[in-house]
Amino acid sequence: MARFPKEADKRNDHSRRLMQIEDHPAGYPRFSALVASHDSFHLCRRFSNLRSRLLLIKQDRISSLEKQLQKVDHEETIPLRLGSTREDDNSERKSILSEIDNALADYDCLIIRNHQIFSFEAARPRAVSNLQNWIKGTGCLARHETNYLNYSDDLFCVASMDDTVMIWLETLVECMFTRVRQYFQKSRHLNISRDPNVHITPKPSITRVARVLMTPFIATLLLAPVIVCNCLSSLIARLFTIVIAATMFIAILSGSTKAKTVELVVAGATYTTVLIVFISSASMPRD
């Protein structure tokens, strides 16, 4: 009887073990597990050309109905029908207005759907190439059903993306983890995949390391002008340092984040004000 608890514990430990990609049947189950293992793998096609064509067709249909309505209005012989909707018994006009209502509803729905689709970020080239390499290496999916990955310019990522600088740092961290992976061969059961050619680091781990690396960069960006100004005695040199620092700050902020123009102006003004206040207080004569 004493063996049953131990066997139950083994079964519980096995069930708590990280389920790896290779534990799923080959084909779509395994490919779905791979896609679910990282946010950047959730890629879809926008079908931009098809959406544009449908939108143009629906727009032209509404324009045609608009001309039909204008024609019926101009050919109206009883002015009272145009002055009162209650007295308007023109069946042709009512039919056209009904068609316009349905066409506009369909048109607006497509516009909203397109706006939602085009608001997603473009797919990362690294994620696209990773999925393509995995499919070529395993060969467990029909080739014509994975052709969507060949439309790299038309792919978008469903998951929310970080700022540009965070994406770059996360890519750097992923490369670093991949290079030192040979030191963790004994703990391969903790990885998402048993395939020696596949190394997927969990997204939370990458994000934490990337944010740690971001800290000294931000500190240097903010404090370097203060240190330089403290070492300069000339007021003109300090002002020149502020101009360069503020320009670099706004340029880096604009290129590495998704901040809007107003947000850039506010951030730049705040940063410049702090530096000017520091210089003013440092330039005051001391008793």
Q: What is the pLDDT along the chain (287 residues), one digit of tens a residue?
A: 444 445 544 445 444 456 788 888 889 999 999 998 888 899 999 999 999 999 999 999 999 999 999 999 998 888 888 888 888 888 899 999 999 999 999 999 999 999 999 999 888 888 899 899 999 988 888 889 999 999 999 999 998 766 566 676 777 776 666 666 555 544 444 467 777 667 666 666 677 777 777 788 778 878 888 888 778 777 788 888 888 888 888 888 777 777 778 888 888 888 888 878 776 665 555 44
- pTM equals 0.66
Name the maximum alpha-carbon separation found in the chain: 99
Residue 13 lies in a domain: no
Of 116, 137, 160, which closes a domain? 160
Whether 153 and 34 map to the same domain: the answer is: yes
Residue 178 in any domain: the answer is no
Domain boundary among 160, 184, 200: 160
Of the three residues 142, 160, 178, the one that is the final residue of a domain is 160
In a domain, 6, yes or no: no
Domain that holds residue 239: 215-283
Residues 34 and 106 grouped into a single domain: yes
In 3-state terms, what secondary structure has residue 196? coil
132: in domain: yes
With respect to residue 5, please indicate whether it lies within any of the assigned structural domains. Answer: no
What separation in angstroms does the CA of 231 have from each of 3, 79, 224, 287?
75, 85, 11, 20
- Asked whether residue 181 is domain-assigned, the answer is no
Distance from C-alpha of 55 to C-alpha of 111, rounded to nearest angstrom: 8
Domain co-membership, 152 together with 227: no
The H-or-E segment that residue 21 falls in is none
pLDDT of the residue at 101: 96
User: Which residues are CB-neighbours of 92 under 8 A, at least 6 positions away?
Assistant: 72
Q: How many domains does the chain have?
A: 2
- Report yes or no on 200 lying in a domain: no
Both 156 and 28 in a single domain? yes
Backbone angles phi, psi at 155, to 5 degrees: -95, 145
* 167 domain-assigned: no
Residues 120 and 239 in one domain: no
For residues 29 and 11, give the distance between their C-alpha atoms in angstroms, rounded to a whole number.
Answer: 23
CB 132 within 8 A of CB 149: yes
Cα gap 183→177, rounded to integer Å: 10
Per-residue confidence (pLDDT) for residue 186, from 0 to 100: 45
First CA to last CA distance, the chain: 88
Residues 105 and 41 in one domain: yes
151 and 261 both lie in a single domain:
no
